[in-house]
């Protein structure tokens, strides 16, 4: 009669770990633990939460109205206006706070669009394979090849300038990398033994995709989406800077555009240009830190320095450490 002990032997796992490097055995919830244990990721998350908070509640925080002239034109930062005023005398800090909403909105929405399209294409392409895979991949190639700025110009010219269009454009440009990534992962998960086992049970494709494949792919998708937010925020900024943005929406890119159009440089008004740029940079950095730590968690081999010289330590004969 065999009775197996309920708890695994830790040495079994570590023997394999020490002998051949970290393997693919990851426990569910490791993403959460990866983020919560890495300081870079925590800082990134905190920063993102901060900006999201400002985006949602910003209108209550603006010290001055953003539509009225509340100070002299291009006034430098002072106790009354912390970040000075722009070429219309409007308080820069208020503008910055107002701009956060649009930039964050576009960033997240566009990343969501890209994730939805890319994820769907990747899953279908990877799972179904065959001719559908070939066709979808060729379509992906076509979209990859489209140059973004001319596309934006043409879209703006034909369909007009609005936030919705910008979100769509950014989504269209950026979904391809997600699709490729997800497709590769889905292809690999599809070959795993537990998926084959479920299929040999007679499970429908629906069940296989939603219960087995997607949960394995979701962490990668989320990590990718976080990085996509960074790209989308930056894209929105330069689209608007080029003059293709929504004329009625205030975003960080709009502020920079205004600053250039209003000759802020000639007036030495650095406070009109630098703060929005800094905000964009901080958001991108934050997204990258979170996204990178998630990717590191997904691929532990990235972290472990296998190429480093293995320097084991010596302990004096007969000496065991007190901590046991």
Partner 1 sequence: MSREPILSVEDLHVWFDLSGGSELHAVQGVSFDLRPGERMGLVGESGCGKTTTILAMMGLLPSSASVAGSVSLDGENIMARGEDTVSPHRWKDIAMVFQGAMNAFNPVKTIGSQIVEPMELHGTATGKAARGQTRELLELVGISGDRVNNYPHEFSGGMRQRAAIALALACEPRVLLADEPTTALDVMVQAQILELLVRLTRDLGLSMILVTHDLPVVAQVCDRAAVMYAGEIVEMGAMSSIYHDPRHPYTRMLFGATPDLLGDADVISIPGAPPRLDREIVGCPFAPRCDSAFAPCATVAPRRLETSPGHEAVCHLNDHVVAKEPA
Partner 2 sequence: MSTTAEPGPLLEVDDLVTRYPVSRGVVGTLRRRPRLQVHAVEGVSFSVGPGEMVALVGESGCGKTSTAQTVIRMVDNQGGSIRFDGRDITGMSAGGMRPLRREIQMIYQDPYESLDPRFRVRDTIEEPLLVHKLGGSSKAREQKVLEALKRAGLTPPDLFIDRFPHELSGGQRQRVAIAASLVLDPKLLVADEPVSMLDVSVRAGILSLLDGLRRDGMGILMITHDLSTAAHFADRIAVMYLGRIVEEGPAQEVVRNPQHPYTRALISVVPKRDPNEQTVPQILTGETPNPVHVPSGCRFHPRCPVAEEACRTIDPSLQRPNGANVPEHRAACIVTAPGPSADEVGPDGRSAGQLAAAAMRPAPLELSGWWRRAWALAIDVAVMLAGGVALGGILALVPGSLGSSLRVGIGVVLFSALYFTIAHGSTGQTLGKRALGIAVRDVHGSGPIGYPRAFLRWLAFAVCTLLTVVVIVDLLFPLWDDRHQALHDKVASSSVFQV
Positions that interact with partner 2 (CB under 8 A): 2-9, 12, 25-28, 153-154, 156-158, 161, 192-204, 207, 212, 215-216, 243-244
Q: By C-beta, is 131 or 321 nearer to partner 1?
A: 321
Q: By C-beta, is 17 or 47 nearer to partner 2?
A: 17
Least separation in angstroms between residue 72's CB and partner 2 is: 29
Q: By C-beta, is 191 or 324 nearer to partner 1?
A: 324
Site map for partner 1, 203-242, x if CB under 8 A? Answer: ----------------------------------------
Is residue 266 a contact point for partner 1 (CB under 8 A)? Answer: no
Find the helix packing angle between 130-145 and 92-128, rounded to 10°. 150
Give the separation between CA 324 and CA 321, rounded to whole angstroms. 7
Q: By C-beta, is 8 or 150 nearer to partner 1?
A: 8
Q: By C-beta, is 83 or 239 nearer to partner 2?
A: 239
**Cβ pair 64, 94 in contact under 8 A:** yes
Give the separation between CA 152 and CA 161, rounded to whole angstroms. 10
User: Which among 18-26, 135-143, 148-156, 212-220 is the span making contact with partner 1, rule CB under 8 A?
Assistant: 18-26
Q: By C-beta, is 138 or 310 nearer to partner 1?
A: 310
**Cβ pair 108, 129 in contact under 8 A:** no
Residue 91, SS3? strand
User: Which among 8-16, 148-156, 196-204, 286-294 is the span making contact with partner 1, rule CB under 8 A?
Assistant: 8-16
The correct pick among 15, 80, 196, 301 for binding partner 1 (CB under 8 A) is 15
Other CB atoms closer than 10 Å to residue 183's CB: what's the count? 25
- H or E element, residue 183: helix 163-190
Least separation in angstroms between residue 158's CB and partner 2 is: 7
Q: By C-beta, is 30 or 50 nearer to partner 1?
A: 30
Token digits of residue 297 = 């968690």
The correct pick among 19, 193, 266, 307 for binding partner 1 (CB under 8 A) is 19
Give the separation between CA 250 and CA 90, rounded to whole angstroms. 13
Backbone angles phi, psi at 28, to 5 degrees: -65, 145
Is residue 24 a contact point for partner 1 (CB under 8 A)? Answer: no
Give the separation between CA 109 and CA 232, rounded to whole angstroms. 9
Backbone angles phi, psi at 85, to 5 degrees: -125, 165
Chain residues 273-312 in contact with partner 1, contact rule CB under 8 A = 308-312
Residue 156, SS3? helix
CA neighbor of 258 nearest in space, from 100, 102, 99, 150:
99
- Identify the residue whose tokens are 């454009």: 169
Is residue 25 a contact point for partner 1 (CB under 8 A)? Answer: no
**How many residues form the binding site for partner 1 (CB under 8 A)?**
34
């Amino acid at each position: 009669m065999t009775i197996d002990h309920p708890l695994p032997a830790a040495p079994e796992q570590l023997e394999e770990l020490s002998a051949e490097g970290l393997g693919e055995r990851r426990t569910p919830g490791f993403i959460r633990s990866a983020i919560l244990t890495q300081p870079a990721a925590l800082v990134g998350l905190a920063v993102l939460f901060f900006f999201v908070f400002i985006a949602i509640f910003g209108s209550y925080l603006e010290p001055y109205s953003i539509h009225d002239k509340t100070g002299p034109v291009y006034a430098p930062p002072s106790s009354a206006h912390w970040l000075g005023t722009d070429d219309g005398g409007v308080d820069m800090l208020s503008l910055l706070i107002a701009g956060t909403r649009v930039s964050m909105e576009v960033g997240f929405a566009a990343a969501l669009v890209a994730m939805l399209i890319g994820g769907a294409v990747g899953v279908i392409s990877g799972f179904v394979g065959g001719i559908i895979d070939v066709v979808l991949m060729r379509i992906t190639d076509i979209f990859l090849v489209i140059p973004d700025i001319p596309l934006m110009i043409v879209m703006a010219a034909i369909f007009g300038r609005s936030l919705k269009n910008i979100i769509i454009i950014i989504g269209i440009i950026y979904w391809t990398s997600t699709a490729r990534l997800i497709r590769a992962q889905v292809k690999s998960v599809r070959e795993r033994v537990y998926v084959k086992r479920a299929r040999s049970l007679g499970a429908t494709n629906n069940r296989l995709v939603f219960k087995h494949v997607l949960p394995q792919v979701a962490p990668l998708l989320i990590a990718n989406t976080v990085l996509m937010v960074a790209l989308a925020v930056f894209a929105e900024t330069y689209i608007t800077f080029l003059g293709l943005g929504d004329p009625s929406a205030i975003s960080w890119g709009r502020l920079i555009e205004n600053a250039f159009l209003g000759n802020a440089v000639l007036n030495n008004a650095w406070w009109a240009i630098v703060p929005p740029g800094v905000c964009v940079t901080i958001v991108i950095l934050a997204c990258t830190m979170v996204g990178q730590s998630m990717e590191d968690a997904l691929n532990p081999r990235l972290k472990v320095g296998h190429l480093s010289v293995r320097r084991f330590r010596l302990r004096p004969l007969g000496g065991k450490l007190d901590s046991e």
